[in-house]
Amino acid sequence: MAKEYKILSPTAILGYGFPEESFMRGIAEHPDLIAVDAGSTDPGPYYLGAGKSFTDRTGVKGDLRYMLTQGIKNHIPIVIGTAGGSGARPHVEWCRKIIEEIAAEEKLSFRMGIVYADVDKEAVVQAIEEGQLIPLDDQPIPTAEQVRECPYVVAQMGPEPLHAMIEAGCEVILAGRCYDPVCFAARPIEEGYDRALATHMGKILECAAIAATPGSGSDCALGILKEDSFILQALSPERQFTAQSTAAHTLYEKSDPYHLPGPGGSLDLTNVSFTELGDGRVEVRGTQFVPTPKYAVKLEGSRCVGYRTCSIAGTRDPILIASIEKVAQQVKDRVTNLLLHDDMKGEVFFHIYGKNGVMGTLETVKDVNPHEICIVMEVLSDTQEHANTICSLTRSTFLHYGYEGRISTAGNLAFPFSPSDIPMGAAYEFCLYHLLEVDDPSALFSSEVVEIKN
394 by Cβ neighbours in 10 Å (0-12 / 13-18 / 19+) ranks as buried
Domain map (residue ranges) of the chain: 5-117+156-295+438-452, 303-430
Residues 6+ apart with CB under 8 A from 412: 315, 317, 320, 398, 399, 400, 401, 403, 406
How far apart, in whole angstroms, are the C-alpha atoms of residue 339 and residue 316? Answer: 29
pTM of the prediction? 0.94
Residues 6+ apart with CB under 8 A from 46: 52, 302, 426, 427, 428
pLDDT tens by residue, 181-202 = 999 999 999 999 999 999 999 9
How many beta carbons lie within 10 A of that of residue 25, not counting itself?
18
DSSP 186-232: HHHHHTT--HHHHHHHHHHHTTGGGGSBS--TTS-EEEEE-SS-EEE
Higher pLDDT, 341 or 203: 203
What is the share, in percent, of the chain residues with pLDDT greater than 90? 91
For residue 254, name the pLDDT band (cuts at 50, 70, 90).
confident
184, 223 in Cβ contact below 8 A? yes
Q: What pLDDT, on a 0 to 100 scale, did the predictor assign at position 2?
A: 58
How far apart, in whole angstroms, are the C-alpha atoms of residue 363 and residue 25? Answer: 44
Q: What is the 3-state secondary structure (H, E, C) of 251-304?
A: CCCCCCCCEEEECCEEEECCCCEEEEEECCEEEEECCEEEECCCCEEEEEEEEE
How far apart, in whole angstroms, are the C-alpha atoms of residue 285 and residue 273? Answer: 5
Q: What pLDDT, on a 0 to 100 scale, did the predictor assign at position 410?
A: 87
pLDDT mean over 89-100: 98
pLDDT tens by residue, 412-443 = 999 999 999 999 999 999 999 999 999 999 99
For residue 408, name the pLDDT band (cuts at 50, 70, 90).
confident
For residue 1, name the pLDDT band (cuts at 50, 70, 90).
low
349 by Cβ neighbours in 10 Å (0-12 / 13-18 / 19+) ranks as middle
How far apart, in whole angstroms, are the C-alpha atoms of residue 239 and residue 8? Answer: 16
Q: What pLDDT, on a 0 to 100 scale, did the predictor assign at position 256?
A: 86
How far apart, in whole angstroms, are the C-alpha atoms of residue 416 and residue 320? Answer: 18
pLDDT tens by residue, 7-44 = 999 999 999 999 999 999 999 999 999 999 999 898 99
Query: 370 preceded by cis ω (within 30°)?
Result: no
Per the DSSP assignment, residues forming a β-bridge with 102 are none
CA distances from 145 to 83, 122, 142, 151 (A): 28, 10, 8, 12
How many beta carbons lie within 10 A of that of residue 254, not counting itself?
14
pLDDT mean over 165-172: 97
Q: What pLDDT, on a 0 to 100 scale, did the predictor assign at position 387?
A: 97
Is domain 303-430 annotated with CATH 1.10.10?
Answer: no
Q: What are phi and psi of 321, to 5 degrees?
A: -60, -40
CA distances from 3 to 192, 372, 375 (A): 11, 60, 58
